[in-house]
Chains A and B, each alone.
Chain A
Amino acid sequence: MTQPISSGSDWSFELIEEYDREIARIAADFGLDTYPNQIEVISAEQMMDAYSSVGMPVGYHHWSFGKQFMATQKGYRRGQMGLAYEIVINSNPCIAYLMEENTMMMQALVIAHASYGHNSFFKNNYLFRSWTDASSIIDYLMFARNYVAECEERYGVEEVEAILDSCHALMNQGVDRYKRPAPISAEEERRRQKEREEYRQEQVNDLWRTIPDMGGDDDPESQKRRFPAEPQENLLYFIEKNAPLLETWQRELVRIVRKIAQYFYPQRQTQVMNEGWASFWHYTIVHRMYEEGLVDDGFMLEFLQNHTAVIYQPPFDSPYYSGLNPYTLGFNIYMDLKRMCENPTEEDQAWFPDIAGSDWQQTLDFAMRNFKDESFILQYLSPKVIRDLKLFAIADEEGDDAYEIKAIHDDRGYRRVREKLARQYNLSYKDPNIQVWNVNTRGDRSLLLRHTRVDGIPMADDDTQEVLRHVHRLWGFDVVLESVDNGEVKERYRMPPEGGSHNNAA
């Protein structure tokens, strides 16, 4: 039998390398395809830094990151909160941070989880493949940081901060959901940025030319022509290209926030899948290490304790409950997929004929590559997982004075639970569906946004008004948001509020 790599909780760089070597070998054995890894050992302070720049290894400066940092610091110092074990960056090479306070076991767990689990997910899941470019992100973030700093120097910190505040408010509406942007490198970005500076302003001016067109503009058809011709969902993109009064550098800032939103978009859509995948692999790889005698009983005991804590799901009536734990849900689904492959039951044969008894590595690999949370749950949430987690669906209908249990973990309920849970992870259900509806190009230049209600769910009043203030700052003219249910306008928000002045240009 092999000797364990180490015993006791102390780590060293040599040991990290040795564990990594073994983990890499086992991961390759299981067919995990990864970017090269860069494993960085950092202090707790540095981990808090990494935290507060929302996982960007290089971030531009902004007060909101300072706020995040101070909140993290306070929580950590008071011991209310442990720091996450790891932060991992979707980049090539894939950067993972290990905290120096961790024990050797934790370092190994994090390496398996982040450097092989998340890493292979980043490299192979279709959303990441089509929306992000791991090889250029660090360069792009560098470009963004420098550009923001340059603007601050030229136009003042407050000016820049105001634009960034407004862009941050629209970050969730700054994503192309259907088109795929071509990834470009930072150098290319800098070159293009110069070009854009020259041409973009011209194009905007073209749209807003104020001299009336002499040739037959009384044509009622052209009066009615809408702009944009089709409603647009990417508010930041629309603003970047069309806001009448923004300066070139301001447009570039809008673009930077939009690009970063786009980069993080796949992570928002694959939380369950991604965390589940990484947890499945740290679990599987460490068990293999134990079987091979590479880790001892003490290591395993500590490992299981941590793993159990990571995938703990408090029940809905627990004071600790704050929604479904994505680690638990994802881990359970992948584990159950493996079980169905290896030991299928009659139920599995009936529900998942293609999966029951198939090769588990291939089945999991396919599941990881081709889905996002919504479709993943819809495809793979099995009756067994629904039973294990005791999932139930509860309806809250307007005008009804009671909640109603619509489905539980029984034959009648499986499909409904699965369908409702999948929908919960649909971002366009989670985030309000807001589109650029029309711009009054000939009159007061006001911008009309439309919120399309799903299931009659309205906007939250306070924040909507606040966000419109930001849209107004960027657009420079009146902004109206109509909340529409079945074609009928239910609510109308204005900025400036009703009776306010027009052309309140920035």
Chain B
Amino acid sequence: MGMSHVVDRRLNGKNKSAVNRNRFLRRYRKHIKKAVSEAVHNRSITDMEQGEQVSIPSEDIHEPVFHHGAGGNREMVHPGNKEFVTGDRLPKPDGGSGGGSGEGQASDQGEGMDEFVFQITQEEFLDFLFDDLELPFLVRKKLKSADSYQYVHAGFTTDGTPAKLNVVRSLRKAYARRISLAGKRKRRIRELEDRIAALEAQPDSEDPAFSKERQIEDFQAELDELRRQVKRIPWIDEIDLRYRQHRREPKPSTSAVMFCLMDVSGSMTQVHKDIAKRFFILLYLFLQKNYKRIEVVFIRHHTAAKEVDEEEFFYSRETGGTIVSSALKLMHRIIEERYPSDDWNIYAAQASDGDNWNDDSPICRRLLEEKILPMVQYYSYVEITPHEHQALWEEYETVQANFPDRFAMQQLSDASEIYPVFRKLFEPKTA
């Protein structure tokens, strides 16, 4: 019999299943993309911080093997008989065809309703979302990575690296400990010293049992012991040490406001709006990486514009014509009232199917060129339509020619074409 060998394996190979998990995610990409897409539909554009629950029909991940089906003759043994006696007959629940108490029944059927449910992480969620948007690798990395973090002071802890030792606090703790441990003894020491001094000043007693010398000796012994004890109290002890603690926080410049403008006239379908939503999400994710505080303003318009909440923005429908300039005017007013451009970095994303009153499009151009663009960091426009462009597009093309740095536009027929609009944003900034 050999000796047993006991090994601590806890520290190695923690994520052994990560590869297999990724294989699984890869294989069921389609299902997961669908779930992500539904999640995007149901979530707020500012709520991209969590993973998502995905469910796949068990049937789709079923691994088939050869096994028996219902039918034939079986005789099975079970435990826990209560009142059965040999020869008892028990009617079959479904009247006798097929069925059976046979084993394997449970796994036989495809079990249509069963779902395999699992959780994907936020990172995986974004991965699938970006995949959908066909974002280049570098951009994905930028949106997900935590490189724009800074460390901020977050109190003190009792352990840390020597480099983070806070001397003042540690010494203060040590001092407090020394006082609490030594205080009583020191008081007694002072008392003893006084007594000895007093005794020495007195004349010696007659009785040898109370001789001055012996009393001083006794006091001196106690005094020495106390001094030894006090000396043994460490000047600084490990429990006194205090270290600075830091927490990682995003390192944003300051505040940004994001305007979402969308045409909600009858011609914009839910599909259009869902594409638009992805477009807004992407802008939001970008801003989140770069600003500490982000406010989002939703402006929807048909012939008139209105500031609304997100729910109403994406999911209520209107009919009627379209006057885009109404939204631009409203945006301009809101900026002037609430977001002075000295304090706010202003971004805007506009989505529309390109419909506009012809007379209105030149007005839009002028509004943008004269009033809005001078105040904003970046203005992006997507036109979600498979059709010919109309006047608005042409006017906007002029705007783009005049403001190539802060105005971008793109025609989309599905979400994967979004990226070019943002290309400017993700370009490395050269000072």
The answer to the question of A183 belonging to the interface, with a C-beta cut-off of 8 Å to chain B, is no
Known A39-B7, A398-B73; contact A466-B64, beta-carbon cutoff 8 A: yes
Q: Which residues of B contact A434 (CB under 8 A)?
A: 66
Bitwise interface map of B from 49 to 83 toward A, beta carbon under 8 Å scored 1, else 0: 00000000000011111111111111111111110
Q: Are A395 and B7 in contact (CB under 8 A)?
A: no
Which residues from 375 to 426 on chain A have a C-beta closer than 8 Å to any C-beta of chain B?
Answer: 389-410, 412-413, 417, 420-421, 424
Q: Which residues of A contact B117 (CB under 8 A)?
A: 74
Report the minimal beta-carbon distance from B18 to chain A, rounded to whole angstroms.
Answer: 9
CA of A58 to CA of B74, assembled, Å: 39
CA of A398 to CA of B274, assembled, Å: 55
Q: Which residues of A contact B74 (CB under 8 A)?
A: 395-397, 455, 457
The answer to the question of B95 belonging to the interface, with a C-beta cut-off of 8 Å to chain A, is yes
Bitwise interface map of A from 442 to 463 toward B, beta carbon under 8 Å scored 1, else 0: 0000000001011111111111
What is the chain A residue whose CB lies nearest that of B119?
Answer: A74
CA of A440 to CA of B256, assembled, Å: 74
Known A392-B78, A393-B76, A461-B69; contact A52-B6, beta-carbon cutoff 8 A: no
The answer to the question of A13 belonging to the interface, with a C-beta cut-off of 8 Å to chain B, is yes
Q: Which residues of B contact A70 (CB under 8 A)?
A: 21, 24, 118
Q: Are B20 and A63 in contact (CB under 8 A)?
A: yes
A/B pair count, beta carbons within 8 Å: 276
CA of A421 to CA of B110, assembled, Å: 28
Known A67-B116, A396-B75; contact A401-B66, beta-carbon cutoff 8 A: no
Q: Which residues of B contact A467 (CB under 8 A)?
A: 64-66
CA of A405 to CA of B82, assembled, Å: 12
Bitwise interface map of B from 342 to 364 toward A, beta carbon under 8 Å scored 1, else 0: 00000000000000000000000
CA of A406 to CA of B63, assembled, Å: 35
Q: Are A41 and B10 in contact (CB under 8 A)?
A: yes
Report the minimal beta-carbon distance from B277 to chain A, rounded to whole angstroms.
Answer: 29
Q: Are B20 and A61 in contact (CB under 8 A)?
A: yes
Report the minimal beta-carbon distance from A327 to chain B, rounded to whole angstroms.
Answer: 13
What is the chain B residue whose CB lies nearest that of A43?
Answer: B10
Q: Are B67 and A432 in contact (CB under 8 A)?
A: yes
Q: Which residues of B contact A464 (CB under 8 A)?
A: 66
Report the minimal beta-carbon distance from B134 to chain A, rounded to whole angstroms.
Answer: 21
CA of A111 to CA of B92, assembled, Å: 46
The answer to the question of A298 belonging to the interface, with a C-beta cut-off of 8 Å to chain B, is no
Report the minimal beta-carbon distance from A48 to chain B, rounded to whole angstroms.
Answer: 7
- The 8 Å CB contact of B103, one of A323, A395, A400, A432, is A323
Q: Are B20 and A65 in contact (CB under 8 A)?
A: yes
The answer to the question of A338 belonging to the interface, with a C-beta cut-off of 8 Å to chain B, is no
CA of A204 to CA of B178, assembled, Å: 87
Which residues from 137 to 176 on chain A have a C-beta closer than 8 Å to any C-beta of chain B?
Answer: 157, 161, 165, 168-173
Q: Are B24 and A63 in contact (CB under 8 A)?
A: yes
The answer to the question of B184 belonging to the interface, with a C-beta cut-off of 8 Å to chain A, is no
The size of the chain B interface, using a CB distance under 8 A, is 69
Report the minimal beta-carbon distance from A2 to chain B, rounded to whole angstroms.
Answer: 21
The answer to the question of A42 belonging to the interface, with a C-beta cut-off of 8 Å to chain B, is yes
The answer to the question of B91 belonging to the interface, with a C-beta cut-off of 8 Å to chain A, is yes
- The 8 Å CB contact of B80, one of A74, A314, A455, A456, is A314
Bitwise interface map of B from 79 to 91 toward A, beta carbon under 8 Å scored 1, else 0: 1111011111111
Which residues from 34 to 74 on chain A have a C-beta closer than 8 Å to any C-beta of chain B?
Answer: 34-43, 45-46, 48-49, 52-53, 61-67, 69-71, 74
Q: Are A40 and B80 in contact (CB under 8 A)?
A: no
Best-surrounded residue of B13, B71, B75, B80 (most CB of chain A within 10 A): B75
- From A16-24, A269-277, A339-347, A361-369, give the one contacting chain B: A16-24
The answer to the question of B429 belonging to the interface, with a C-beta cut-off of 8 Å to chain A, is no
Q: Are A431 and B66 in contact (CB under 8 A)?
A: yes
The answer to the question of B164 belonging to the interface, with a C-beta cut-off of 8 Å to chain A, is no
Report the minimal beta-carbon distance from A139 to chain B, rounded to whole angstroms.
Answer: 18
Report the minimal beta-carbon distance from B68 to chain A, rounded to whole angstroms.
Answer: 5
Report the minimal beta-carbon distance from B35 to chain A, rounded to whole angstroms.
Answer: 14
Report the minimal beta-carbon distance from A452 to chain B, rounded to whole angstroms.
Answer: 12
What is the chain B residue whose CB lies nearest that of A464?
Answer: B66
Q: Are A13 and B64 in contact (CB under 8 A)?
A: no
What is the chain A residue whose CB lies nearest that of B102?
Answer: A396
Q: Which residues of A contact B20 (CB under 8 A)?
A: 52-53, 61-66, 69
Which residues from 1 to 28 on chain B have a C-beta closer than 8 Å to any C-beta of chain A?
Answer: 1-10, 13-17, 19-27
The answer to the question of B108 belonging to the interface, with a C-beta cut-off of 8 Å to chain A, is yes
Report the minimal beta-carbon distance from B62 to chain A, rounded to whole angstroms.
Answer: 8
- The 8 Å CB contact of B118, one of A20, A27, A74, is A74
Which residues from 298 to 324 on chain A have a C-beta closer than 8 Å to any C-beta of chain B?
Answer: 313-318, 321, 323-324
The answer to the question of B101 belonging to the interface, with a C-beta cut-off of 8 Å to chain A, is yes
Report the minimal beta-carbon distance from B216 to chain A, rounded to whole angstroms.
Answer: 52
The answer to the question of B100 belonging to the interface, with a C-beta cut-off of 8 Å to chain A, is yes
What is the chain B residue whose CB lies nearest that of A449?
Answer: B66
Q: Are B80 and A37 in contact (CB under 8 A)?
A: no
Could you list 5 further interchain pairs (A-B, Cβ under 8 angstroms) beyond the known A37-B5, A407-B86? A36-B3, A71-B116, A170-B66, A316-B80, A421-B77
Jot down 22 A-B pairs with beta carbons below 8 A, ordered by A: A13-B8, A17-B4, A24-B4, A36-B2, A45-B14, A52-B17, A63-B26, A64-B20, A67-B116, A70-B21, A169-B63, A315-B79, A394-B75, A395-B73, A395-B75, A400-B96, A401-B92, A401-B95, A412-B86, A420-B75, A421-B77, A457-B102
